[in-house]
Amino acid sequence: MNIAAALLVVDAQYGFMPGGGLAVADGDSIVPVINQMAPLFANVVLTQDWHPANHVSFAANHPGRQPFETIALPYGEQVLWPTHCVQGTRDAALHDDLRVPQAQLIIRKGFHSEVDSYSAFVEADRKTSTGLAAYLHARGITSLYLCGLATDYCVSWSAQDARAAGFEAIVIEDACRAIDMNGSLEKAWASLAAAGVGRIHSSQLA
């Protein structure tokens, strides 16, 4: 893999694995795939969904509301999620079997109680930067390979924002799994294609 490329491992946390707060079907099956391809990358960045317990995206913080309903917030429509990835809990920890010792940065996101952040680059208010674009630009990185959870939320938003920030972006599809709610996965792939995001299988990496 060329030295101007980085692997972005999105939210490979217990909260999105079977048994987690916001379990993604088969989510843990991405871990061996990531472990196999990670040695190809000199540059690896991880993200970690990292919510305070009073986070606005949790249905439990909206009396009378149920997970997977949507509400209107000042920045737009917000899906209400089951409580997941609360700061400092096991649910928020990266999977123990993940082997990416060379990872150089962990971007935590979703820590502002009133704003969600699917994207590793820009929070859901579409204004607040996480600093990731500036970091990657400063490191001379021009291409971003994305994997992790969930394809249709955090991976998709991160890949589209990578393009908007001027990076080449490629989603490694067998190293991702989706929530796939109300057609969200099909919609995500269409948005990704429209944004010029590539889509490959891990076996195509060399």
Q: Using CB under 6 A as the criterion, which residues of the chain lie in contact with ligand VGL when the complex forms?
A: 11, 16, 22, 49, 81, 118, 149-150, 153-154
**154 catalytic per annotation:** yes
User: Which of the listed partners (Zn ion, ligand VGL, none) does 118 bind, with a CB threshold of 5 to 8 Å by partner kind?
Assistant: ligand VGL
Based on CB atoms, which residue is closest to ligand VGL, 87 or 142? 87
Interface size with Zn ion, residues (CB under 5 A) = 2
Q: CB of residue 77 vs ligand VGL: minimum separation in angstroms?
A: 13
Q: CB of residue 40 vs ligand VGL: minimum separation in angstroms?
A: 23
Q: CB of residue 5 vs Zn ion: minimum separation in angstroms?
A: 27
Q: Which residue is nearest to Zn ion (CB)?
A: 49
String of contacts with Zn ion for each residue 19-58, x by CB under 5 A: ------------------------------x---------
**11 catalytic per annotation:** yes
Alpha carbons within 13 angstroms on the beta-carbon side of residue 148 total 32
Three-state DSSP string of the chain:
CCCCEEEEEECCEHHHCCCCCCCCCCHHHHHHHHHHHHHHCCCEEEEEECECCCCCCEHHHCCCCCCCCEEEECCEEEECECCCCECCCHHHCECCCCCCCCCCEEEEECCCCCCCCCCCCECCCCCCECCHHHHHHHCCCCEEEEEEECHHHHHHHHHHHHHHCCCEEEEEEEEEECCCCCCHHHHHHHHHHHCCCEEECHHHCC
Catalytic residue among 116, 154, 161, 176: 154
User: Which of the listed partners (Zn ion, ligand VGL, none) does 149 bind, with a CB threshold of 5 to 8 Å by partner kind?
Assistant: ligand VGL
Site for Zn ion in 90-119 (CB under 5 A): 110
Q: CB of residue 194 vs ligand VGL: minimum separation in angstroms?
A: 20
Q: CB of residue 157 vs Zn ion: minimum separation in angstroms?
A: 11
Catalytic residue among 109, 116, 152, 176: 109
- Determine if 123 is a binding residue for Zn ion (CB under 5 A): no
CA dist 173 to 24, 97, 146, 200, Å? 15, 20, 9, 6
Which residues of the chain form contacts with Zn ion (CB under 5 A)?
A: 49, 110
- Positions annotated as catalytic residues are 11, 109, 154
